[in-house]
Amino acid sequence: MRFEKKTFEKQRIVLDYNEFEECRFTECELVFNAVGSVGFSRNVLDNCRWKFEGPAAAAVSFLKAVYGMGADGRNLVLATFESIAPDLRLRG
């Protein structure tokens, strides 16, 4: 479903299979499962919480485990995030 210029307040919003453009989310729980595509652009988030479930939670757990494996794992995870956001400086 596509949502444009809609306001969501104090709701649990499942992102999968939805598109959100120029929406406002206030005190919402934003849930990502990684089972369907998500469109998410030019939105405003105010005091929202992110929740990863299903395959998305498994991916986060995997990255956490790899990070804890020592220097090589840590470097792999940091390089992954730096490839997503090149302006981040995660390593000294």
Structure confidence by residue, pLDDT tens digits, 17-71 = 999 999 999 999 999 999 999 999 999 999 999 999 999 999 999 999 999 999 9
Same domain? 62 vs 48: no
Spatial separation of the C-alpha atoms in residues 60 and 53, rounded to whole Å: 9
Are 3 and 46 contained in the same domain?
A: yes
For residues 18 and 61, membership in a common domain is answered with no
- Closest CA relative to residue 3, chosen from 45, 17, 11, 65: 17
Same domain flag for 48 and 59 = no
Pair 46, 76 in one domain: no
| Residue 87: pLDDT band with limits 50, 70, 90 | confident
DSSP strand pairing (18-21 vs 2-4) = parallel
7 and 22 co-located in one domain: yes
9 and 44 belong to one structural domain: yes
Give the whole-angstrom CA distance, residue 44 versus residue 32: 17
Q: Are residues 11 and 32 in the same domain?
A: yes
**pLDDT band with cut points at 50, 70 and 90 for residue 92:** low
Which pLDDT band holds residue 10 (cuts at 50, 70, 90)? very high
